[in-house]
Amino acid sequence: MPLCLSRRKQLISLMAREERKIMATILIIEDHKDFRQAVRHFLEVSNIKAELLEASSGEEGVLLAKRVKPQLVLMDFWLRGINGVEAATQIKASVPECSIILLTMFDLKDVQPLVNKEVFKEFISKSDLCEKLIPSVNKILNAAVKT
């Protein structure tokens, strides 16, 4: 009897490992802990099926992205240390298949001319997050599954 239970646990562990392999990974890079956790919570309650990782700086985000190769990065524009544009450029150079959404509290018309549009898939104002984030995330993850 214990052998059967042990085998079952192994099978469950194997299945969980396989599910994680096919599950998307989203990396949230935001230096403000409260906002980072709010974005994470919003994704969770919106039933986004992805492993959610967090980084509190551009430097930490670049290192983590190189290691885990996320399908999607949600990147704050204004970070301490290296800014979101520089961090995104480094991530895109290391993980070219990664999509990056730039999140900013600044007016988009002021930010968009400052960045390389080949690095960023989309730009979302933090004030529009509730309306635009989930559709954008779903579109990007669905496209990643098809490729």
CA 55 to chain centre: 10
- At residue 57, the 3 state secondary structure works out as coil
Residue 4, pLDDT above cutoff 80 = no
Q: Which pTM value belongs to this model?
A: 0.80
CA distances from 62 to 65, 66, 85, 88, 101 (A): 5, 6, 11, 8, 15
* 108 contacts 123 by C-beta, under 8 angstroms: yes
Q: Which CATH topology does 20-146 take?
A: Rossmann fold (3.40.50)
* Average pLDDT, integer, range 105-119: 60
Q: State residue 143's pLDDT score.
A: 84
Q: How far apart are CA 60 and CA 63, in angstroms?
A: 5
Name which residue leads in pLDDT, 19 or 68: 68
- Picking from 49-53, 59-63, 64-68, 78-82, which range would have the lowest pLDDT averaged per residue? 78-82
Q: Which residues pair with 76 in a beta bridge?
A: 103
**Which pairs count as long-range contacts for 100-103, CB under 8 Å and 24+ apart, including other chains?**
100/72, 100/73, 100/75, 101/72, 101/73, 101/74, 101/75, 101/133, 101/136, 101/137, 101/140, 102/75, 102/77, 103/30, 103/39, 103/74, 103/75, 103/76, 103/77, 103/129
